Amino acid sequence: MMTFLLKGVLRDRGRSLFPFIVVTTGVFLTVTLYCYIRGAELDVVRSNANLRHGHVKVVTRAYAKDVDQIPNDLALLGASAQIRDLEREYPDLEWVPRIEFGGLLDIPDAHGETRAQAPVAGFGADLRTPGSPEPGLLGLANILVAGRLPEASGEILLSAGLAERLKVGPGDVATLIGTTMHGAMSMANFKVAGTIRFGIGALDRMGLVADIADVRKALDMDDAAGEILGLSRDGLYRPDRLAAVAAAFNARFAGSGDEFLPVMQTLRDQPGMAMMFDRIRDVTNIILGVFLLAMSLVMWNAGLVGTLRRYGEFGVRLAIGEDKGRIYRSLVAESLMIGVLGSIAGTVLGLALSFYLQAVGINLAGVLKNVSFLMPIVIRSRVAPAAFVVGFVPGLLATLVGTGIAGRGIYRRQTAQLFKELES
Rounded Cα–Cα distance for residues 223 and 181 (Å):
12
| Burial of 416 from C-beta contacts in 10 A (0-12 / 13-18 / 19+) | exposed
Amino acid at 422: L
Whether the CA torsion 308, 313, 319, 322 is positive or negative: it is negative
Alpha carbons 314 and 347: distance in angstroms, whole number: 33
Q: In the structure, how many helices (H) and strands (E) does the chain have?
A: 16, 14
Coil, strand, or helix at residue 75? coil
Helix (H) or strand (E) holding 155: strand 155-159
Candidates 27, 5, 13; CA nearest to 398 is 27
pTM score above 0.75 = no
What pLDDT, on the 0 to 100 scale, is given for residue 258? 85
Q: Report how far residue 143's alpha carbon sits from residue 288's, in angstroms, rounded to the nearest whole number.
A: 36
Give residues with Cβ within 8 angstroms of 62, minimum separation 6: 71, 74, 259, 260
What is the rounded CA–CA span in Å between residue 211 and residue 217?
Answer: 10
* CB 39, CB 285: distance < 8 Å: no
* Beta strand spans in 306-389 (E): 362-363, 378-379
Nearest CA-CA partner of 134 in 194, 53, 54, 50: 50
The 3-state DSSP class for residue 349 equals helix
- Least Cα distance to 189 among 163, 164, 218 occurs for 218
User: Rg of the Cα trace of the chain?
Assistant: 31
Domain residue spans in the chain?
2-47+275-423, 56-234
Q: Which one-letter amino acid corresponds to residue 107?
A: I
DSSP 322: -
CA atoms within 13 A on the CB side of 278: 6
Which helix (DSSP H) or strand (DSSP E) does residue 135 occupy? helix 134-138
CA distance 270 to 388: 32
pLDDT of residue 245: 92
Residues 159, 118: Cα–Cα separation, whole Å: 12
| Dist. CA 159–CA 51, nearest whole Å | 14
Q: What is the pLDDT along the chain (424 residues), one digit of tens a residue?
A: 455 445 555 555 555 677 788 788 888 888 888 888 888 778 778 888 888 889 999 999 999 988 888 899 999 999 999 999 999 999 999 999 999 999 999 999 888 888 999 999 989 999 998 889 999 888 888 888 899 999 999 999 999 889 999 999 999 999 999 999 988 999 999 999 999 987 777 778 888 999 999 999 999 999 999 999 999 988 888 888 999 999 999 998 887 778 889 999 999 888 878 887 888 788 778 877 777 677 767 766 665 665 556 656 666 666 676 776 777 777 777 778 888 888 899 899 999 999 988 887 776 655 544 444 455 556 678 888 888 888 887 777 777 777 777 666 666 655 555 545 555 5
How many C-beta neighbours within 10 Å does residue 414 have? 7
Count of CA atoms in the C-beta half-sphere (13 A) of 269: 20
